[in-house]
């Protein structure tokens, strides 16, 4: 093992990916919550209060300000940003936030035109609102929504209710319809019991998900209730992976939650990774590393925990996913981010953004 002092944080790099550190990119943000890169442009950092800040030339400038719309903070605020796959031509991008009424809102922006609201989802409480959005390799927009909180253990059983968006992963076509269309291969399109937008269900609070830019596989971090945090997985292609049920609130991770014993596990998709609350209390889903700077991490999935600051690296080995501690930090790891080159960033909710870099 090798001890590294970087950016004021004591980091512990294990032998599996020895020589990795976090390099400070910039600090001084107000509750940063996500980072991404505009196609062909600069890095953008979302502040939970409702601003998107552009990083260029070592300076921060306001790229978009929607503070007047946003209900912040706690688990609410400006939560996510996604660029249309053809952004270079159509200049369309989408944001996700919690509005002043406490509801999830997905909005579309395009150059020279007023924004439009695609979707508003009523939330019963100020917890488990989800809010991450991302385009899949199929060109559709995926939307993660939590079970709405409202009590311990999803008391209204939203995550298993086919008539609500709560506790679901949604999948919509933003290139057709008004304001959107339902993809023709959405799994419940022909089932009148389900909302047709639903692509997967059984989530407590899907906090950050990502698609592997090489394989198209989907990785989802789903925050637990009392004991277990989990990473869920859907292999590409997405059209064949819909309709999966990841088990909340019957399961927490791969363990019975309700009932606490003898639940019917076989009905649900098991998580590929989990950890107990002895190692943290709120998982933050990450990315598969596809950059060039850290060859030892190529093809590995990185994820973290908001409470403990732990960052893990996972690989498919010996017929299963195996995970090891990569870095132990003192940060509130609220998000990871990926730039155009596939390099990864870590967002500390306390105010700074770091890049995963080779140790010096």
Name, in order, each residue with C-beta under 8 angstroms of 279's C-beta and a sequence gap of 6 or more. 305, 308, 310
Phi, psi angles (nearest 5°) of residue 267: -80, -10
In order of their start, the domains of the chain are 30-290 (2.120.10.30)
Pairing of strands 244-245, 198-201: parallel
The mean pLDDT of 74-89, rounded to a whole number, is: 97
Lowest mean pLDDT across 12-21, 250-259, 334-343: 12-21
pLDDT in tens, 91-101: 999 999 999 99
How far apart are alpha carbons 309 and 112 in whole angstroms? 41
The mean pLDDT of 18-22, rounded to a whole number, is: 85
Q: Which of 289, 284, 288 is nearest to 310 (CA)?
A: 284
pLDDT of residue 18: 57
Q: Is the pLDDT of residue 3 over 60?
A: no
- Considering the chain, what percentage of its residues have pLDDT values greater than 70? 95
How far apart are alpha carbons 182 and 64 in whole angstroms? 29
Query: How many CB atoms lie under 10 A from the CB of residue 175?
Result: 15
Q: How far is C-alpha 209 from the chain's CA centre?
A: 3
Confidence of residue 13 (pLDDT cuts 50, 70, 90): very low
Mean residue pLDDT of the chain comes to: 93
pLDDT of residue 205: 98
Give yes or no for a cis peptide into 2 (omega within 30° of 0). no
More confident position, 86 or 113: 86
How far apart are alpha carbons 263 and 250 in whole angstroms? 7
pLDDT of residue 6: 37
Q: What is the DSSP string of 47-100?
A: ETTTEEEEEETTEEEEEEE-TTTB--STT-SEEEEEE-TTHHHH-EEEEEEEBT
Give this prediction's pTM. Answer: 0.94
DSSP for residue 173: B
């Amino acid at each position: 093992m090798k001890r590294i002092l970087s950016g004021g944080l004591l980091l512990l790099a294990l032998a599996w990916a020895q020589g990795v550190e976090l390099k400070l990119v910039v600090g001084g943000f107000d509750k940063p919550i996500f980072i991404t890169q505009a196609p062909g442009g600069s890095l953008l950092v979302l502040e939970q209060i409702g601003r998107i800040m552009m990083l260029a030339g070592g300076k921060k400038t306001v790229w978009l300000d929607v503070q007047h719309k946003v209900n912040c903070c706690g688990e609410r605020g400006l939560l996510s940003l996604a660029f249309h796959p053809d952004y270079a031509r159509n200049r369309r991008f989408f944001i996700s936030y919690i509005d002043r009424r406490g509801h999830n809102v997905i909005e579309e922006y395009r150059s020279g035109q007023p924004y439009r609201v695609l979707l508003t989802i009523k939330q019963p409480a100020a917890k488990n609102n989800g809010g991450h959005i991302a385009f899949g390799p199929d060109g559709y927009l995926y939307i993660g929504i939590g079970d709405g909180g409202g009590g311990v253990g999803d008391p209204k059983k939203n995550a298993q209710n086919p008539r609500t968006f709560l506790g679901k992963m949604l999948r919509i076509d933003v290139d057709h319809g008004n304001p959107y269309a339902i993809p023709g291969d959405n799994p419940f399109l022909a089932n009148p019991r389900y909302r047709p937008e639903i692509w997967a269900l059984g989530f407590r609070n899907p906090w950050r998900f990502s698609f592997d830019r090489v394989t198209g596989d989907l990785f989802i971090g789903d925050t637990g209730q009392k004991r277990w945090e989990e990473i869920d997985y859907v292999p590409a292609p997405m059209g064949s992976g819909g309709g999966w049920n990841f088990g909340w609130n019957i399961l927490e991770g791969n363990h019975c939650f309700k009932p606490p014993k003898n639940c019917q596990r076989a009905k649900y998709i098991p998580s590929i990774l989990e950890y107990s609350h002895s190692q943290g209390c709120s998982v933050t889903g990450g990315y598969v590393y596809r950059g060039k700077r850290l060859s030892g991490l190529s093809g590995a999935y990185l994820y973290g925990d908001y409470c403990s600051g732990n960052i893990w690296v996972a690989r498919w080995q010996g017929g299963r996913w195996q995970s090891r501690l990569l870095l132990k930090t003192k940060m509130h790891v609220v998000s990871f981010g990926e730039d155009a080159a596939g390099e990864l960033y870590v967002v500390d909710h306390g105010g700074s953004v770091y890049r995963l870099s080779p140790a010096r």
